[in-house]
Amino acid sequence: MEPVTVITSKPHLPSLLLPFSVEALKQPNLPSKLSLAQAPQDEHKQSASTTHKDLPSIDQTKQIHGHVIKTHFDYTLQIPLTCFRPHMSSAAQYNFLITSYNNNNFSRCSLKIYAHLRNMDVQVDNFTVPSVLKACGQCSVAALGKEVHGFVLKSGLDRDVFVRNALMQMYSECGSVVSARLVFDQMAERDVVSWSTMIRSYVRNRLLGEALELIRGMHSLGIKPSGIAMISMVNLFADLSHVKPGKAMHGYVTRNGRTEKLGVPITTSLIDMYAKCGNSAYAERLFNGLTQKSVVSWSAMIAGYIRCKELEKGARLFNEMLEESIFPNEITVLSLIIECGFVGALEVGKWLHSYILRNGFVMSLALATALVDMYGKCGDLRKARAVFDYMIDKDVMIWSAMISAYAQANCSSQVCDLFARMREKGLKPNKVTMVSLISLCAKVGALDLGKWLHLYINQQGLEVDLVLKTALVDMYAKCGDIDGAHRLFIEATDRDLCMWNAMMAGFAMHGCGNEALKLVEEMERHGIKPNDITFIAVLHACSHAGLVTEGKRLFEKMGLDFGLVPKIEHYGCMVDLLGRARELDEAHELIKSMPVEPNTVIWGALLAACKLHKNPSLGELAAKQLLELEPQNCGYSILLSNIYAASNRWNDVAAVRTAVKDTGMKKQPGLSSIEVNGLVHDFVMGDQSHPQAGKIYEMLAEMRTKLTEAGYSPNTSVILQNIDEEEKEIALNYHSEKLAMAFGLISTAAGTPVRIVKNLRVCHDCHAATKLVSKLYGRVIIVRDRNRFHHFKEGSCSCGDYW
């Protein structure tokens, strides 16, 4: 297209007339391909006949903008662009600029123009408002959107269905589905777009029941939902892996003759839905039934095979696509790489990476980010970092992907280093970055760092959506601050099921069984239907609090009141609940009555209970089942040998440990971590590698002296080795949690809590010693072991010695 010459027949306007200057619009990094999706349409929008190919690019839009500023929006002067009709009014020029900036993804410029427009004597009509509302939604500026809504009501523009639809869309994109529904309910007249917009709003916010209710309402009125609405619904079923309503939607589409009309798009969505629900056969049938297959259809089916882990079929279909002379584009390869990351298909991901390099694809930021994410999820940090370092110009998304990769691998130092470098380069982290960082804090128990990140989010004014709020609740709970987690939960006014479940799981980890039960009741009062995860959390809470009767009642309630079929995880919780309460025979009977084959979770819970209550005969049975299921897992053999050792069956202990040694299996070592001044320090048993090892062992000696004076006697029965008592006592002194505790006492101020994370279950001796240390040193000591939290204070533990 020929360059546009700006007419400057009128003098420049003072710069104060606009909240920005023309020069400020001349920004670099503009998209290379931009177009307008629509132009204004009425008497004030004389550009209605403009075709897409005539619409201006962002550069042309800025030239037009410069022209209208310099000419004081003089509509008597023709703008030298075919997309502008001669003698456009000021209102039409404003509408055109706002729409043009919107559709070129420069919505903030649209909002600046609107701010100026309101100060001028220019009519704001029912064509200006929808474009402004679209910009508000794209920028998630709910406050300005509400102001525009107020203006709409005052000016009487709310009678226009087009304006109402735009209001619903704006509220939906700003995350206020309640406000969108209020607008919908107040509409005297609705068209199919109104219904479809509201349905898509529910879909965007993953409110499946409400979306289905609207579709039923449309059907009863004889209104057929738009193709976009139906595709949105199918995509939601795919994301949620809800195959039953997905099949119902498939039937509805077929019965109403929409499959033929919508053709490839709806069929492709159905292929994707069936694949994500694990039914590749249905997806394959639909794919084979397509008479015309687009590259998107091929991509959906290949991605479906990858999702279902049918990698050979996926590779074969990829080659068939190439034989049909249909070549994948960047979006195709991108979607396949994402699927590889989802299922951990590292080898296929590597092959796709090499395909990109061999076939001359430009390594765009989108592709590089997908590769970093895929390698990170597959555990290949070296390749992830290589792709990250290869990219010279990095945006916030690729930084976030690399940070997430390190966070998933618990590489806290690399995460902190990358985050610091990212900020040094002036990049503002997004929600993905912050969720990754906060999730890492939750994993390693870094409460101080988590609190700093929470403060940083507030100071930087980052948008805190439900995902980020839920991550913060989860972080505070997993870092030992259950009160902080509950405070955030109470402050949240827009809780979804995920946040309720996070709070429930937090109560379970801290042994707050009664609080978890109250939360279930509160959920029901709020009309929130619990799901499978809810019941796993509350049954876990009952198990750690010894609430056997309540746990049994909830297990029955799952099916009777909510129609949920207990999964193997729920049976695992029940076996654990009964086992901890010494009801080993009842737990075994429950296993035998299960409608599904018990897995390692079930038998593992029974074996742990047998160790706790010293039942070697049932423990042998459980261990035998476990070793058949996972012969390479030495943890089960170690548990069995510990059961034998507790019964002084040393010959059996020797036989089990010899078998473990012969197979080359290695026991997972105990590891305890403690965060001090934002850094996480790790300790193993007898560790002397720490720079302050000398001071740590001096504190250990001091602790041992004080404990002995207070009447503490080492519980040597937890050392399940055939050695003398003195050697057992020495071994007990240097358990990893005691080393971490000693370091915490010398490194933190008097009176401050000491927080420790251990990867294994805390032993009885360390539990007893920690209770006394909390009293002798006047400290609250919080220990998170593999099963739960222990809050030690003034000589007692929150678990009540039931763990």
Taking only the tens place, the pLDDT of each residue in 741-791 is 999 999 999 999 999 999 888 888 889 999 999 999 999 999 999 888 999
- Residue 310 belongs to some domain of the structure: no
311-320, 376-385, 431-440, range with greatest mean pLDDT: 376-385
- Residue 649 belongs to some domain of the structure: yes
Is the pLDDT reported for residue 55 higher than 70?
no
User: 589 or 106: whose pLDDT is higher?
Assistant: 589
pLDDT of residue 75: 40
Q: Are residues 719 and 759 in the same domain?
A: yes
Q: Are residues 781 and 706 in the same domain?
A: yes
- Residue 229 belongs to some domain of the structure: no
Q: Are residues 442 and 570 in the same domain?
A: yes
Section 790-797 average pLDDT:
92
Is the pLDDT reported for residue 390 higher than 90?
yes
pLDDT of residue 412: 81
pLDDT of residue 260: 53
Q: Is the CA virtual torsion 517, 519, 525, 531 positive or negative?
A: negative
Is the pLDDT reported for residue 516 higher than 60?
yes
Q: Are residues 686 and 734 in the same domain?
A: yes
User: 32 or 741: whose pLDDT is higher?
Assistant: 741
- Residue 61 belongs to some domain of the structure: no
For residues 62 and 69, what is the distance between their CA atoms, to the nearest angstrom? 10
Is the pLDDT reported for residue 133 higher than 80?
yes
Section 396-422 average pLDDT:
90
pLDDT of residue 624: 82
CATH number for the domain harbouring residue 485: 1.25.40.10
Boundary of a domain, candidates 594, 611, 639: 594
From 98-102, 671-675, 729-733, 746-750, the region with the lowest mean pLDDT: 729-733
From 85-89, 348-352, 470-474, the region with the lowest mean pLDDT: 85-89
Section 366-378 average pLDDT:
94
For residues 675 and 268, what is the distance between their CA atoms, to the nearest angstrom? 49
For residues 391 and 338, what is the distance between their CA atoms, to the nearest angstrom? 19
pLDDT of residue 4: 31
pLDDT of residue 715: 67
Section 29-55 average pLDDT:
35
pLDDT of residue 66: 61
Boundary of a domain, candidates 594, 624, 655: 594
Q: Are residues 513 and 655 in the same domain?
A: no
pLDDT of residue 28: 34
Q: With cut-offs at 50, 70 and 90, classify the pLDDT of residue 666.
A: low
Section 474-495 average pLDDT:
92
- Residue 24 belongs to some domain of the structure: no
CATH number for the domain harbouring residue 609: 1.25.40
Q: What is the DSSP annotation of 307-351?
A: HTT-HHHHHHHHHHHHHTT----HHHHHHHHHHHHHHT-HHHHHH
Spell out the residues 6+ positions from residue 548 whose beta carbon is closer than 8 angstroms to its own: 542, 577, 578, 581, 583
Q: With cut-offs at 50, 70 and 90, classify the pLDDT of residue 7.
A: very low
pLDDT of residue 256: 67
Section 91-117 average pLDDT:
77
For residues 793 and 781, what is the distance between their CA atoms, to the nearest angstrom? 7
- Tell how strand 781-784 and strand 754-758 pair up: parallel
Q: Are residues 658 and 677 in the same domain?
A: no
pLDDT of residue 16: 28
From 3-17, 275-289, 435-449, 460-474, the region with the lowest mean pLDDT: 3-17
Q: With cut-offs at 50, 70 and 90, classify the pLDDT of residue 25.
A: very low
Number of domains in the chain: 3
Q: Are residues 508 and 624 in the same domain?
A: no
Q: Are residues 511 and 463 in the same domain?
A: yes
Q: What are the pLDDT digits (tens) for 566-604?
A: 999 999 999 999 999 999 999 999 999 999 899 988 998
Counting residues of the chain whose pLDDT is more than 90, the rounded percentage is 33
Boundary of a domain, candidates 594, 611, 640: 594
- Residue 720 belongs to some domain of the structure: yes
Q: Is the CA virtual torsion 74, 80, 82, 86 positive or negative?
A: positive
Q: Are residues 660 and 680 in the same domain?
A: no
User: 649 or 47: whose pLDDT is higher?
Assistant: 649
Is the pLDDT reported for residue 74 higher than 70?
no
User: 803 or 745: whose pLDDT is higher?
Assistant: 745
From 118-132, 203-217, 325-339, 723-737, the region with the lowest mean pLDDT: 723-737
Spell out the residues 6+ positions from residue 419 whose beta carbon is closer than 8 angstroms to its own: 403, 429, 433, 437
- Residue 742 belongs to some domain of the structure: yes
Could you report how far apart the first and last alpha carbons of the chain are, in Å?
Answer: 74
Across-strand partners of 754?
781
DSSP state of 674: E
Q: With cut-offs at 50, 70 and 90, classify the pLDDT of residue 413.
A: confident
112-126, 145-159, 386-400, 726-740, range with greatest mean pLDDT: 386-400
User: 644 or 493: whose pLDDT is higher?
Assistant: 493
43-47, 294-298, 306-310, 346-350, range with greatest mean pLDDT: 346-350
For residues 469 and 461, what is the distance between their CA atoms, to the nearest angstrom? 14
Is the pLDDT reported for residue 81 higher than 80?
no
Q: Are residues 738 and 600 in the same domain?
A: no
Query: What sections of 648-735 are H helices per DSSP?
Result: 650-663, 693-709, 725-733
Counting residues of the chain whose pLDDT is more than 70, the rounded percentage is 83
For residues 235 and 237, what is the distance between their CA atoms, to the nearest angstrom? 5
Q: What is the 3-state secondary structure (H, E, C) of 252-300?
A: HHHHCCHHHHHCHHHHHHHHHHHHHCCCHHHHHHHHHHCCCCCHHHHHH
- Residue 284 belongs to some domain of the structure: no
User: 557 or 292: whose pLDDT is higher?
Assistant: 557
Section 232-244 average pLDDT:
80
Asked if 111 and 135 count as a contact pair (C-beta separation under 8 A), the reply is yes
pTM: 0.67
Q: Are residues 422 and 542 in the same domain?
A: yes
Q: Are residues 428 and 506 in the same domain?
A: yes
Tokens (6 digits) for 496: 């979804």
User: 417 or 46: whose pLDDT is higher?
Assistant: 417
Residue 166 CB: number of other CB atoms within 10 A?
Answer: 26
Range of the domain at 585: 405-594
Instruction: Give the chain's mean pLDDT.
Output: 81
Asked if 644 and 656 count as a contact pair (C-beta separation under 8 A), the reply is yes
Q: With cut-offs at 50, 70 and 90, classify the pLDDT of residue 262.
A: low
For residues 510 and 235, what is the distance between their CA atoms, to the nearest angstrom? 37
